[in-house]
Amino acid sequence: MIPMCVTPLPLEQLHDYFAGELARDEEELLEEHVFGCESCVRTFEKAAALAGGLRSLVPPVISHEKLEALQRAGENIVLTQADPGVPAVAHFSPGVSLLVHVLRGDLRTAERVHFELLRRDGGVMMTLEDVVADRERGEVLIVCQRHYEHAFSDAYSFRIVGEWGGSREVIGDYFIEHIWR
């Protein structure tokens, strides 16, 4: 029988630990508690599994830092440069782990940048607000994963929208044909 813990670790503190947000001394105290307390192991594992799962997800929009980290980790990534209105093709060949679409546009003065995924009829399938954008390079990096073939089978085009003083304006529409095999 596992003895009850007198001072169980709060789940929030464990989440902070796995997010790397605790001070060094707090982190060490938490580790000492976990290695000495059978009762808190389950909560520790629960927080670890969620943080690990979130880290293994690749966000739909990433920074150049993240792109480089994925490349360093050995991911086989195909980059597709796309300019507004100019058709492009992205080929998800066998062995490719991710497609990254480099959507280019003039983002220099935009206060916020938003991303939309559109259907052929112009309806919005998905909106991601205030996405990571490289304003200097004028690029937004959109990640496409293999299972999106089914998850977003109606998708037709991408749109980047800029925001200035609360009003929004389309920066560009991008047409990338996906070849999934």
Partner 1 sequence: MSDASLDDSELVRLVVEPGEARRTAELALCERYGMRVRRYAERHLRNAQSAADLTQLVLLSVIEALREGRIADPERLGAFVLSTCRHLVWDENRAVTRQTRLRETIGAEATAAEPTTASIDLLRLEQCVRELPRREQRVVLLTYGEEWSSERIAAELGTTAGNVRVLRHRALARLTDCMEDER
List residues binding partner 1 (CB under 8 A): 12, 15-21, 31-32, 34-38, 41, 44-46, 48-59, 61-63, 65-66, 69, 126, 129-130, 132, 147
Query: Is-contact 152 117, C-beta < 8 A?
Result: yes
User: Based on CB atoms, which residue is closest to partner 1, 59 or 122?
Assistant: 59
User: Based on CB atoms, which residue is closest to partner 1, 50 or 78?
Assistant: 50
User: Based on CB atoms, which residue is closest to partner 1, 46 or 168?
Assistant: 46
For the chain, how are helix, strand and coil distributed in percent, rounded to 5? 30, 35, 35
User: Based on CB atoms, which residue is closest to partner 1, 58 or 78?
Assistant: 58
DSSP per-residue letters across 118-152: EETTS-EEEEE-S---BTTTTEEEEEE-TTHHHHT
Q: How far is the CB of 3 from partner 1 (least distance, A)?
A: 10
Q: How far is the CB of 70 from partner 1 (least distance, A)?
A: 10
User: Based on CB atoms, which residue is closest to partner 1, 69 or 170?
Assistant: 69
Exposed, middle or buried by CB within 10 Å (0-12, 13-18, 19+), for 166? exposed
What pairs with residue 174 in β-bridges? Answer: 158
Q: How far is the CB of 34 from partner 1 (least distance, A)?
A: 6
Q: Where are the beta strands (DSSP E) in the chain?
A: 61-62, 77-82, 88-91, 98-104, 112-119, 124-128, 139-144, 155-164, 167-174, 176-179
